[in-house]
Structure 1
């Protein structure tokens, strides 16, 4: 069970705010840090160290300021450049330019988790000076355990916070509650809320949104009703588009269309006041499509265009929503709008149409759109080639499917495998054609790219040799 993008926004925001720098840089300080950041920014390859750039900065006699360093780390984190962020954090203290603060330690724990994993987090935590092991640091450790779904260790840290007398705010409870929600531990989630009640710790938006998400995930419409009533009647709680989105999604899951549409109307009412207007419209597009309301989908899209300049994420939302109705003609028109905008060529956008074409036997259109995207400088995704392979297999064009899967593997990451049925079909085809050399080449390529393990590789090769 996972938090959806919309249902977890409260939780993600509070953690981001809590674990980021405690001081906000003003525009002038950002400008002063710009020169160093511009030197570091182009080094996108995580295998290339940023330390030489930092050392050169110091050799030039330039100042090293904590706030500037924090700004750079925060910016790199935004772009998921965690290894470089960690290098900068370690350089900052190891060179003894800036002593570590509690906020720096919490940031580093999160970075170590991202780069090296939980074992190294624990090693680092065990060596932190005792004076720095305060509430914030234990809470950061709790967050690391929650991120890795290590329930026993997370509960142990939570007990430590209780023993320290620090479990007095919703934050640590929210982290643990979210872990229980993600792992389906409903009883433990309820027990934490009862503990908060007993201690007089007031629920906040995040507490109630996590509980709302849990009710929605289990299709508990009565629970959704109760939480929404509680939130709407509490003047301390500020409902936003994500709250209504979670509720609407939950009602749709149990077939309560009228209640879902009521939530979507309330969500739409927030588009005049929210700062996250693009998020609100994208949620509306997705949920009106799931509700089967095609007319409302187009109405929201036109309203979106009136109020806001739409970028790639908006087009992704509209295309994915239209194709839930298999409205290929409508999707083609939206795609043409996107092309005319001249935005950056994000291959996820043509990929929606390529997938739809393949599923509907329009392989010529799929190939034409693929080639057009490549000509424009786009880079096809793994899923692009897998869509084509599936379409080819469906229409008995197995040689083309083999070539498509080979191209998929070239851009494939070991954590996301191509469709196994497609792979099996291709291997069976090669075997049936007696093309064992090509089959061996195919298996070797799969192994090199991490799709097959060495054990599977050997078993397949032995099978092929027996066939020979």
Structure 2
């Protein structure tokens, strides 16, 4: 598999093609041919199924595709986290001298290699890129990889290289480094980077502001947060991004300053006037009104929004989750009934919120009935559905039923979780959680599966000794 291929001597027809691509690059719409090609690729849901035969078949069938359209397809696949397929399209696009590789293509490919194969392969790819092709964007892509894996020394080395090359003149370089230092808890280095930006006259953008707000929240510095908010709102030329508002609101809530968070929520609502990210902003607003404890505003927002906007599964899920935060299970059930009558595709992430609530409250029959109803209507329970039910059974010391629920979770889980869940099953079936409490507790808190309710519940049961008297399965 060739990760880097450069066409050095294109013929005249290729030169003409390049000119046409450059004229069209990043235009606002994808051609209808590309949409059809993307549909063919998107149907290959299994990442282990190669998209190369689809691409070859498309061209061999006499269809035309240009580089701009392929780049758009790569971006779509990246957006949906289909990194392996996106990498295949990227490779197909430039290999066999189909299209010359740009700096942008190299940067995107480096990120995709990192996502698919890990840091070592990404570094190997970077080292094979000729020095004259290592542009601003390529170095930035590698810095982003180092930030994600929290590799401070390597990130600082690349940052210094960027300074030496004159690349580090934009806020994005400092934002990535500050994000890294925030993730590892080194606030002094964040201060040093902000000072460097000030000395060099590098302006703060929305991401810089968000990082500064996060640092202030971490330090419980409400005065610092007030100053940043005042500064960003005083800029008449740039409306604060909704993500910056969210960071500020969460920071105030973290410090218990609900009175300062409320006006920011009103301003965040103003972002709903823009069609971009409208649904996503709305779901965040629902969560934030629940966090702030204002049920009246939650219902007001819900009733206003659904009058003029289409409500999808994610929005129903957010509203149900928000009501559960208030312990308003009856209200959540009413919204769930609306969802059932909406005619939307059955998505078990929606009933999962109620299933979790029922299992937490010991209402196992209601949880079982909800799962059975979803199945009868053509839905497929998720791994988390069975895990939540398993946690409910454990609250009632019904270990055999918990084992059966976990077996169903294993049957539908992805390879990423299979080993952890299988090992967890082994512990439960052999009652080894009693003899190997420390090992079992470590297992159930492993990153990637700690988001599901069962593992926190299991941990609590073990620590409280509640499982020690459970009879063998």
Q: So what's the TM-score if we normalise by structure 1?
A: 0.82
Task: Structure 1: give runs of 5+ residues left out of the alignment.
Answer: 1-21, 433-445, 452-466
**For residue 13 of structure 1, what is the aligned residue in structure 2?**
none
Give per-residue Cα distances to partners, 1:405-436, cap 9 Å, x unaligned. Answer: 1112223346555599997555439999xxxx
1:263 corresponds to: 264
Does the 8 Å contact 2:206/2:241 carry over to 1? no
Query: C-alpha distance in 1, partners of 2:311/2:217?
Result: 30
Aligned to 1:160: 161
Q: Structure 2 unaligned runs (5+)? A: 1-23, 436-443, 450-471
**1:306 matched to 2:307:** yes
Decide whether the 8 Å contact of 2:210 with 2:248 is kept in 1. Answer: no
Equivalence for 2:461: none
Farther off after superposition, 257-266 or 235-244? 235-244
Distance 1:418 1:225 in 2: 46
Quote the residue 1:17 is aligned against.
none
Report the counterpart of residue 189 of structure 1 in structure 2.
Answer: 190
How many residues are aligned here?
Answer: 415
Which residue of 1 is the match for residue 431 of structure 2? 428
Counterpart Cα distance in 1 of 2:196 and 2:317: 42
More deviation in 244-253 or 234-243?
A: 234-243
For the 8 Å contact 2:170–2:202, the answer to whether it is kept is yes
Classify the secondary structure of the residue corresponding to 1:326: coil
Q: Counterpart in 2 of 1:146?
A: 147
Rounded to whole Å, the distance in 1 between the matches of 2:202 and 2:209 is 13
C-alpha distance in 1, partners of 2:350/2:299?
Answer: 18
Paired residue for 1:272? 273
Q: Supply the distance in 1 between the matched residues of 2:325 and 2:102 (Cα, whole angstroms).
A: 50
- Which residue of 1 is the match for residue 6 of structure 2? none
Q: Deviations over 1:145-192 (max 9, x none)?
A: 112221111111110010011111112111212212222221111111
Residue 218 of structure 1 and its aligned partner are, at CA, apart by: 3.9
CA distance in 1, matches of 2:60, 2:423: 54
- Seen in structure 2, the aligned counterparts of structure 1 residues 177 and 324 have a Cα distance that, compared at 3 Å, is same
Q: 1:379 offset after TM fit, Å?
A: 2.0
What residue number does 2:8 align with?
none
Going from structure 1 to structure 2, the CA distance change for 1:253 and 1:426 (only over 3 Å counts) comes to farther
The alpha-carbon distance between structure 1 residues 276 and 252, as it changes in their structure 2 partners (threshold 3 A), is: same
User: Quick check: 2:313–2:347 contact (8 Å CA) kept in 1?
Assistant: yes
Q: CA deviation at 1:102?
A: 0.7
Tell me what 2:358 maps to.
Answer: 357
Cα distance change, pair 23–174 in 1 and its aligned pair in 2 (3 A):
farther
Look up the SS of the partner of 2:169 in the other structure.
Answer: coil
- Compute the RMSD of aligned alpha carbons: 2.8
Shift of 1:123: 0.8
Determine which structure has greater relative contact order: mean sequence separation of CA pairs < 8 Å that are 6+ residues apart, divided by chain length.
1
